[in-house]
């Protein structure tokens, strides 16, 4: 296991960087690319399960749609899942696209503070980046573009209330389709 000092060093290393900066063949951080970085940087024989435990501790991983809503929006989100979400999954299947749930969580106990922007696929694959939070940070355009990958695959992104719509990237390629999860405007970042 990483010591707390090593974990904080790892978070600082990941902040604002992507795996390709370390010679890794991934557009965004995944459990596997993080595992590879930890092994090379700290020379620790961690297994993939231990890396998954770090991701869970950082607030990453599959969450139910209702967990992505503030308390005032739970009913609206549940209705949305019943009425809107099936059409999104059908459209994604027709275009051989991936569906991702986007969100943001705040990592506690880091200086300076850190946010983790994450995308969890409908298959449970987690892709993420670590940023330094600012007041009302926009949804990072480069993160959204990297989800589509070098192959420029079509992706449907369900964006939770972490970002108001006016903070979404503009003029995205047609292969990237953003869908808002119902939100009353209250941030759901942990």
In terms of domains, do 51 and 128 share one? Answer: no
Beta-carbon contacts of 164 under 8 Å, excluding residues fewer than 6 positions away, are 136, 185
Global confidence as pTM: 0.89
In a domain, 187, yes or no: no
Structural domain that includes position 48:
4-57
In terms of domains, do 88 and 160 share one? Answer: yes
**pLDDT higher at 137 or 13:** 13
In terms of domains, do 92 and 144 share one? Answer: yes
Instruction: Place 190 in a pLDDT band, splitting at 50, 70 and 90.
Output: very low
In a domain, 185, yes or no: no
In terms of domains, do 11 and 100 share one? Answer: no
In a domain, 173, yes or no: yes
Mean per-residue pLDDT, 7-34: 94
> In the chain, how many domains are there?
2
In terms of domains, do 85 and 108 share one? Answer: yes
C-beta separation of 105 from 161 below 8 A? no
In terms of domains, do 20 and 47 share one? Answer: yes
In a domain, 145, yes or no: yes
What is the spatial distance between Cα 73 and Cα 104, in angstroms, rounded to a whole number?
A: 17
- Residue 115 phi, psi (nearest 5): -110, 145
In a domain, 72, yes or no: yes
Structure confidence by residue, pLDDT tens digits, 80-118: 999 999 999 999 999 999 999 999 988 888 888 899 999
In a domain, 190, yes or no: no
C-beta separation of 81 from 63 below 8 A? no
What is the spatial distance between Cα 171 and Cα 176, in angstroms, rounded to a whole number?
A: 10
Structure confidence by residue, pLDDT tens digits, 145-174: 999 988 889 999 999 888 888 899 999 999
What is the spatial distance between Cα 190 and Cα 177, in angstroms, rounded to a whole number?
A: 25
Mean per-residue pLDDT, 126-144: 88
In a domain, 90, yes or no: yes
């Amino acid at each position: 296991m990483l010591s707390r000092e090593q974990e904080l060093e790892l978070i600082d290393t990941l902040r604002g960087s992507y795996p390709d900066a370390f010679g890794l063949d991934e557009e965004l951080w995944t459990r596997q690319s993080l595992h590879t970085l930890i092994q090379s940087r700290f020379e620790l024989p961690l297994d993939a399960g231990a890396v998954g435990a770090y991701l869970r501790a950082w607030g990453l991983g599959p969450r139910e749609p209702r967990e992505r809503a503030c308390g005032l929006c739970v009913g609206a989100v549940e209705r949305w899942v019943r009425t809107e979400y099936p059409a999104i999954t059908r459209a994604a299947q027709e275009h051989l696209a991936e569906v991702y749930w986007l969100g943001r969580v705040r990592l506690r106990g880091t200086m300076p503070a850190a946010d983790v922007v994450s995308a969890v696929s409908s298959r449970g694959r987690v892709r993420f980046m670590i940023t330094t939070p600012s007041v009302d940070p926009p949804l990072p355009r480069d993160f959204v573009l990297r989800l589509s990958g070098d192959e420029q695959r079509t992706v449907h992104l369900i964006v939770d209330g972490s970002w108001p719509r006016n903070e979404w990237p503009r003029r995205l390629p047609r292969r990237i389709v953003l869908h808002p999860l119902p939100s009353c405007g209250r941030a759901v970042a942990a």
